[in-house]
C-alpha cells in the first residue's frame, strides 16, 4: 500500500484511529514478551531497520555498508524476509532464476551487492548463510524481529519525512514509538535534509550519521520530457528527484508499494507516455518488478548513498571491524 496522506502530519483521521494504534502496540509488546530467547549467531549480525513503514532508505544503507565490509576483507551475506515474494526460504537469491514475485523486489537489489538470503524464519536464514561461508550477516530490516541477537543495530530515518504524524499503525506510519526504537539502536543514519528536527528529538540518545541519496539516471532522460510511475511507499520523492535532475515531468501515476506490474498495465503506461510525447521512467525498485519483456520500453533511475563524512562507514562499523 501507499502511505496515506494523513500519516504525513497530525490531523483528525489519525486521532480517530489512535485507539487501534493502542491495540497494535499492545499486541507487539505481548509478542516480544512471550517470544523465545533470542538466538545468538556465532558470527556478528548487523541489523539495518527503521521505525516507520517503508521509504526510509534502509536498503541503500544495507548495500553501502555491505560493500564497505567486503572492502575490509569480510564475507558479508545479506538476509531479508523477502516481503512480497512467495518463497518462504531459506533460499539464496539468484537474479538469473528468481523474480520479484518469488523473493520480493528488495532482495533482488541486495543480491547485486553480496550473497543474499530470503527466509521467513530469520534464524534458519542466518544458519543457511553461515553454512555457506558468511563471516558476518547484514539484516535488511528485522529491527522489530526479536528472534536473533543483533551485534549492531542501525536505525535509518528519512529526514524529509521524520516520524510522520507521530502515531503508531494504523493511525500513523510508526511500527513502534521512536523512543523504544532508539533505546535498542547503536547508530542512526539520517538521510536527506532534517525537515522535522529529528536531530533535536534524538539528542544524545544515539550517534547520528548524515547521508543523502544520489540518483543516476539513464542519459537519455536527463533534461527530457518524461512520464513517471512508481509503486513505492512515497512516490512523490521519486518525482521530485526527476525534477531536480532537470526532467520535464509531463505526468505521473502511483501504484501501491511492491505492486506487481502486469503486461497490459505497462502497455497502457507506454501509451500514456506516447500521448504526452514523453519517455516512460520508473524507479530501480519498480523496474525489477516489470515483466522482463517490457523492460526495454522503460527507462530507470538508479540510486546510491553518499555520506556527509567520508569516515562514517568506519565509525559505524568500528566495533565489528575491531573484532574482525
pTM: predicted TM-score of the whole model, two decimal places: 0.89
- Sorted by where each begins, the domain ranges of the chain are 5-209+306-323, 215-305
pLDDT for position 306: 95
Q: Which positions ≥6 away from 308 have C-beta within 8 Å?
A: 209, 210, 211, 212
pLDDT for position 243: 94
CA 207 and chain centroid, separation: 21
Q: What is the pLDDT of residues 177-221, one digit of tens each?
A: 899 899 999 999 999 999 989 999 898 889 999 999 999 888 889
CB 118 within 8 A of CB 91: yes
- The whole-number average pLDDT for the span 147-151 is 95
pLDDT surpassing 60 at residue 277: yes
Q: Phi first, then psi: give them for residue 281, nearest 5 degrees.
A: -145, 145
Provide the mean pLDDT of the chain. Answer: 90
d(CA 34, CA 40): 18
Q: Which residues pair with 225 in a beta bridge?
A: 248
pLDDT for position 33: 63
CATH of 5-209+306-323, one of 1.25.40, 1.10.3470, 2.40.160, 3.40.50: 3.40.50
- The whole-number average pLDDT for the span 107-136 is 97
Amino acid at each position: 500500500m501507499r502511505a496515506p496522506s494523513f500519516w504525513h502530519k497530525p490531523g483528525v483521521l489519525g486521532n480517530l484511529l489512535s485507539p487501534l494504534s493502542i491495540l497494535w502496540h499492545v499486541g507487539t509488546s505481548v509478542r516480544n514478551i512471550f517470544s523465545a530467547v533470542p538466538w545468538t549467531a556465532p558470527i556478528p549480525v548487523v541489523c539495518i531497520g527503521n521505525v516507520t513503514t517503508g521509504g526510509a532508505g534502509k536498503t541503500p544503507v544495507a548495500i553501502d555498508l555491505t560493500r564497505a565490509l567486503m572492502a575490509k576483507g569480510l564475507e558479508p551475506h545479506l538476509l531479508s524476509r523477502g516481503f512480497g515474494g512467495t518463497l518462504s526460504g531459506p533460499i539464496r537469491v539468484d537474479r538469473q532464476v528468481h523474480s520479484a514475485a518469488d523473493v520480493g523486489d528488495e532482495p533482488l537489489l541486495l543480491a547485486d551487492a553480496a550473497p543474499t538470503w530470503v527466509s521467513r524464519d530469520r534464524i534458519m536464514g542466518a544458519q543457511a548463510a553461515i553454512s555457506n561461508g558468511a563471516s558476518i550477516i547484514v539484516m535488511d530490516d528485522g529491527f522489530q524481529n526479536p528472534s536473533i541477537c543483533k551485534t549492531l543495530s542501525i536505525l535509518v530515518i528519512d529526514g524529509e519525512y521524520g516520524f510522520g504524524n507521530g502515531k503508531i499503525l494504523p493511525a500513523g506510519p510508526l511500527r513502534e514509538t521512536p523512543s523504544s526504537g532508539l533505546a535498542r539502536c547503536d547508530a542512526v543514519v539520517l538521510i536527506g535534509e532534517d525537515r522535522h528536527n529529528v536531530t533535536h528529538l534524538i539528542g544524545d540518545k544515539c550517534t547520528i550519521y548524515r547521508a543523502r541519496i544520489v540518483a543516476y539516471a539513464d542519459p537519455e532522460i536527463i533534461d527530457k520530457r518524461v512520464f513517471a510511475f512508481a509503486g513505492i511507499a512515497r512516490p512523490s520523492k521519486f518525482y521530485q528527484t526527476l525534477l531536480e535532475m532537470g526532467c520535464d515531468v509531463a505526468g505521473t501515476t502511483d501504484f501501491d508499494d511492491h505492486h506487481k506490474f502486469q503486461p497490459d498495465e505497462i502497455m497502457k503506461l507506454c501509451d500514456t507516455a506516447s500521448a504526452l510525447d514523453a519517455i516512460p521512467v520508473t524507479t530501480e525498485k519498480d523496474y525489477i518488478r516489470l515483466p522482463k519483456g517490457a523492460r526495454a520500453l522503460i527507462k530507470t533511475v538508479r540510486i546510491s548513498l553518499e555520506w556527509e563524512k567520508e569516515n562514517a562507514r568506519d565509525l559505524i562499523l568500528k566495533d565489528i571491524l575491531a573484532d574482525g
